[in-house]
């Protein structure tokens, strides 16, 4: 532990401003540093670098910290330092200036922390086939088992990430591509990502599958006849489509390509529909058998 005296000596060399967003006036307070204030959990961490002098909590405070005594300053870490903007090249794929930054905490480390394996459960099917309902039931079932799951809902993403996209053909492809990329990031973070979107075309689904390691893309096909989806019509969209008020509606005047290689197929027929819980249990059972519910 660096003595307070040393910390004070170092103040002239550099400072770190810890500013909360609300207030404009900075209040500078020096406090004695104690391990308990920082609450560092790892002994190795504590020994690796001297702790900063902690500032008093307030609307706007300034924290001064001491220089590291280990000597491994930023300037010695060349090659790790990132820059992402300011390059002229047109696409990352063609650019030598965009470097992949690896970090010592890997996917497997996060999986061990969570005691699960990050993966993508991709639920595809017609509007009204029960994708979101299954996603929610599965999310509940996984949470009840202490597993971290997160739903990427096609509709919800249209409010945020994909709000710039229309429903014309190329934008639908881009909508699915982006959700596939985000699902990949979530799986890489260790989360069991449940993606729920019509994704009517085999090519688009397969492109998302190809982003992930073998086995980690688990396609769930809601095999529900159009007639049954149309009977349900929970949002009244089929009615609008039949009335010609929505053009290019999947199943009505735009095709849905049933998946050829889904890991799980969930058929539902008129009068023979299982509960969302029962459907979720089938997916859960698959994940269990394939080892995704442990690290």
Q: Which is nearer to a second copy, 120 or 153 (CB)?
A: 153
Token output for 66: 């001491």
Rg of the chain in Å (alpha carbons): 26
> Restricting to residues 33-72, which ones interact with a second copy according to CB under 8 A?
38-42, 44-45, 48-52, 54, 57, 63, 65-68, 70-72
Selected binder of a second copy within 11, 188, 226, 242 (CB under 8 A)? 188
Can you tell me which of 35, 146, 227, 258 binds a second copy, judged by CB under 8 A?
146
Among 11, 29, 226, 263, binds a second copy (CB under 8 A): 263
Q: If binding is defined by CB under 8 A, does position 185 make contact with a second copy?
A: yes
User: Rounded distance, CA 253 to CA 275, Å?
Assistant: 30
**161 touches a second copy (CB under 8 A):** yes
Compute the distance between CA of residue 38 and CA of residue 35 in angstroms, rounded to an integer.
5
Q: Report helix angle 169-188 to 202-210, nearest 10.
A: 30
Selected binder of a second copy within 184, 212, 230, 292 (CB under 8 A): 184
Q: Residue 251 — left, alpha, or beta (φ > 0 → left; ψ -120 to 50 → alpha)?
A: left
Among 4, 29, 257, 281, binds a second copy (CB under 8 A): 281
For the CB of residue 10, give the shortest distance to a second copy in the complex, in Å: 9
Pick the catalytic residue: 199, 262, 275, 285? 199
**5 versus 71: smaller Cβ distance to a second copy:** 71
Residues 206-235 that bind a second copy (CB under 8 A): 211, 215, 219, 228, 232, 234-235
User: Closest distance between a second copy and the C-beta of residue 212, in Å?
Assistant: 12
Q: Work out whether 261 is an interface residue with a second copy (CB under 8 A).
A: yes
Residues 214, 123: Cα–Cα separation, whole Å: 17
Residue numbers 77-116 binding a second copy by CB under 8 A: 77-93, 95, 97-101, 103-105, 109-110, 113-114
With CA atoms as reference, report the closest residue to 191 among 277, 107, 133, 102.
Answer: 107
Tokens 């204030």 label which residue?
37
Catalytic site includes residue 104? no
Dump the DSSP string for 68-95: PSS---GGG-TTT----SS---S-GGG-
Q: Which residues of 141-150 are buried (b: 16+ CB within 10 A; e: fewer)?
A: bbeeeebbbb
**Whats the size of the chain, residue-wise?**
295
Contact call for residue 284 and a second copy (CB under 8 A): yes
**Is 3 a residue that touches a second copy (CB under 8 A)?**
no
To which H or E segment does residue 46 belong? helix 43-48
Q: Is 130 in the site for a second copy (CB under 8 A)?
A: yes
Of residues 25, 74, 210, 243, which one binds a second copy by CB under 8 A?
Answer: 74
- 291 vs 293: CA distance, rounded Å: 6
- Taking each helix axis from N to C end, the angle separating 276-289 and 131-144, rounded to the nearest 10 degrees, works out to 60
Window 7-36: residues binding a second copy (CB under 8 A): 13-21
Query: Which one of 144, 203, 210, 243 is in contact with a second copy (CB under 8 A)?
Result: 144
Active-site residue numbers?
Answer: 199
């Amino acid at each position: 532990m660096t003595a307070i005296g040393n910390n004070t000596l170092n103040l002239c060399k550099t400072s770190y401003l810890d500013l909360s967003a609300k207030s404009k006036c900075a209040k500078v307070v020096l406090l004695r540093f104690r391990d308990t204030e920082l609450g560092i959990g790892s002994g190795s961490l504590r020994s690796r670098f001297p702790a900063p002098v902690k500032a008093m909590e307030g609307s706007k405070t300034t924290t001064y910290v001491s220089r590291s005594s280990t000597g491994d300053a930023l300037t010695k870490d060349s090659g790790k330092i990132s820059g992402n903007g300011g390059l002229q090249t047109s696409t990352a794929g063609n650019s030598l200036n965009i470097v992949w930054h690896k970090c010592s905490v890997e996917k497997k480390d996060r999986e061990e922390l969570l005691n699960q394996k990050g993966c993508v459960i991709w639920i595809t099917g017609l509007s009204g086939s029960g994708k979101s309902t299954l996603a929610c039931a599965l999310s509940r079932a996984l949470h009840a088992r202490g597993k971290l799951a997160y739903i990427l809902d096609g509709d919800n993403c249209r409010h945020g990430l994909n709000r710039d996209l229309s429903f014309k053909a190329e934008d639908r492809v881009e909508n699915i591509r982006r959700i596939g990329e985000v699902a990949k990031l979530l799986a890489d973070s260790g989360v069991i990502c449940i993606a729920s979107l019509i994704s009517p075309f085999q090519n688009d689904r397969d492109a998302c599958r190809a982003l992930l390691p073998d086995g980690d893309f688990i396609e769930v096909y809601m095999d529900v006849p159009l007639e049954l989806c149309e009977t349900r019509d929970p949002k009244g969209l089929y009615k609008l489509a039949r009335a010609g008020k929505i053009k290019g509606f999947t199943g009505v005047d735009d095709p849905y390509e049933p998946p050829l290689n889904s890991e799980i197929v969930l058929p539902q027929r008129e009068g023979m529909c299982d509960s969302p819980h029962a459907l979720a249990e089938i997916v859960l059972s698959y994940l269990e058998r394939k080892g995704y519910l442990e690290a």
